Chains A and B, each alone.
Chain A
Amino acid sequence: MLSTLSQCEFSMGKTLLVYDMNLREMENYEKIYKEIECSIAGAHEKIAECKKQILQAKRIRKNRQEYDALAKVIQHHPDRHETLKELEALGKELEHLSHIKESVEDKLELRRKQFHVLLSTIHELQQTLENDEKLSEVEDAQEASMETDPKP
């Protein structure tokens, strides 16, 4: 009888221990479950963050590609410095040529004026010669009439 009693006590003690163990296992599982939930929430947040970063990175890539596209087009055009230099050289040539033109025009004006003076003096001389001729004709005519008058 003692042995059956002790056996019963033993099995009851065992079941009590198993019960305790199960309770503690449950608590453990609850703890792990909560931890996993937290990490899932954390992962969700990280995913949202990463999505935002992806959008930002896509925007940056788009800007970079736009820049590249424009840069390609710009490369086709000649360099700005070279064109500026060419423009300067052309400007200097233009100035030089305009100087020459001015000096030539001045010379032309001078010659024109001198020629004008020459022509006008010639005309004047002609005029005076004609006047002199006329005067001498008139004087001859007067002398002839005076010679015929004092005769009688």
Chain B
Amino acid sequence: MERAVPLAVPLGQTEVFQALQRLHMTIFSQSVSPCGKFLAAGNNYGQIAIFSLASGLWVELVNSVLHFSLAHDGPVYSMVSTDRHLLSAGDGEVKAWLWAEMLKKGCKELWHRQPPYRTSLEVPEINALLLVPKENSLILAGGDCQLHTMDLETGTFTRVLRGHTDYIHCLALRERSPEVLSGGEDGAVRLWDLRTAKEVQTIEVYKHEECSRPHNGRWIGCLATDSDWMVCGGGPALTLWHLRSSTPTTVFPIRAPQKHVTFYQDLILSAGQGRCVNQWQLSGELKAQVPGSSPGLLSLSLNQQPAAPECKVLTAAGNSCRVDVFTNLGYRAFSLSF
């Protein structure tokens, strides 16, 4: 545990408050800028910090925070980036910011929208955002168990997909047939066809014996898909599924529930309750376990923007105020701190 304030300096109220804030911070979401040189991270206090990856990599600065803004009233649960905008979502609202302006002080949001909820009293949190580039739309999913589709040009909410019985944790896009996968607390992964706005397939993960772990629950915390294959984990064990036949093919032997998973080249990267980023091969073997600096990890982000190939890094963030940067997947290069 790092000492945030050295003892020689007299402890004023603000320093104590800041130190306490940093101690209890959780970073929920990350997003890379379209130019590939900046990383935005959102935490549970509603702040969004912009880190400069380029200066971090070459000059080895640890605190290369360029800007720090109180963006939302509640925690910032998810963020995505489009070509020019950063979209962030928290308790009930999604806000858009211009990347070009984020680097200046006092930047204001471009617009903010609230999807049509069933009653005006409830303000459910938006847990996941997904961009569908073909339709230029954004899909929001969260506490009200529905998926809302919003057209990015007009800002109107076009469709509502209902089917989940409990809140939704994560979304993934299946590119070949434009389908969206959503996983939630009710333990089911549902596939929705965007053109007909109907549920195409349901996979109830906890019902399969190979992967269910009843002592952990049935919630699906993370989803990733590769058109034919899908990885999901959370309460049940992290499993690789073949989507067409809906069969679980490989179960990855890790006990801790995983909170974020992604496909990368021929590997599957996952992170969750442990300290490490795990790298798996599709056959179920653990290729590497790279420890980070946070006791638990909530999100991984791979900077694969073609505009900045020198900043191609993996960043991981979770239950602390630090974002770990891995330049080579084998070890942690350095950490950026809020």
Which residues of A are interface residues toward B (Cβ below 8 A)?
55, 58-59, 61-62, 65-66, 68-70, 72-73
Contacts and interface: CB of A to CB of B under 8 A. Distances in A.
A73 B245 CA distance: 10
B282 A66 contact: yes
Residue from B228, B229, B265, B282 having most chain A Cβ neighbours under 10 A: B282
A133 to B, nearest CB: 82
B216 interface: no
A50 to B, nearest CB: 15
Given A69-B242, A69-B283, A73-B242, A61 B266 contact: yes
Given A55-B265, A69-B282, A72-B249, 14 more contacts: A58-B265, A58-B266, A59-B266, A61-B266, A61-B281, A62-B265, A62-B282, A65-B266, A66-B282, A69-B242, A70-B242, A73-B242, A73-B245, A73-B247
Contacts of B245: 73
A69 B249 contact: yes
Residue from the set B228, B245, B247 with the largest chain A CB neighbour count within 10 Å: B247
A147 to B, nearest CB: 102
A59 B247 CA distance: 23
B305 interface: no
B298 interface: no
Interface of B: 228-229, 240, 242, 245, 247, 249-250, 265-266, 281-283
B68 to A, nearest CB: 37
A104 B282 CA distance: 61
Nearest to B247: A73
A26 to B, nearest CB: 35
B204 to A, nearest CB: 18
A61 B282 CA distance: 9
Contacts of A73: 242, 245, 247, 249
Contacts of B249: 69-70, 72-73
Closest 4 CB pairs of A and B: A65-B282, A62-B266, A69-B249, A58-B266
A65 B283 contact: yes
Contacts of A72: 249
B288 to A, nearest CB: 15
* Residues of A contacting B: mostly: helix
B329 to A, nearest CB: 12
A53 B250 CA distance: 27
Contacts of A66: 228-229, 282
27 contacts: A55-B265, A58-B266, A59-B265, A59-B266, A61-B281, A62-B265, A62-B266, A65-B266, A65-B281, A65-B282, A66-B228, A66-B229, A66-B282, A68-B282, A68-B283, A69-B240, A69-B242, A69-B249, A69-B250, A69-B282, A69-B283, A70-B242, A72-B249, A73-B242, A73-B245, A73-B247, A73-B249
Nearest to B242: A70
Nearest to B265: A58
Nearest to B250: A69
A65 B267 CA distance: 10
A68 B242 CA distance: 12
A58 B229 CA distance: 17
Contacts of B229: 66
A62 B266 CA distance: 5
B161 to A, nearest CB: 29
A17 B247 CA distance: 84
B47 to A, nearest CB: 38
Contacts of A61: 266, 281
A72 B240 CA distance: 13
A3 B266 CA distance: 83
A77 to B, nearest CB: 10
A146 B168 CA distance: 112
A59 B263 CA distance: 12
Nearest to B245: A73
Contacts of A62: 265-266, 282
Contacts of B247: 73
A53 to B, nearest CB: 13
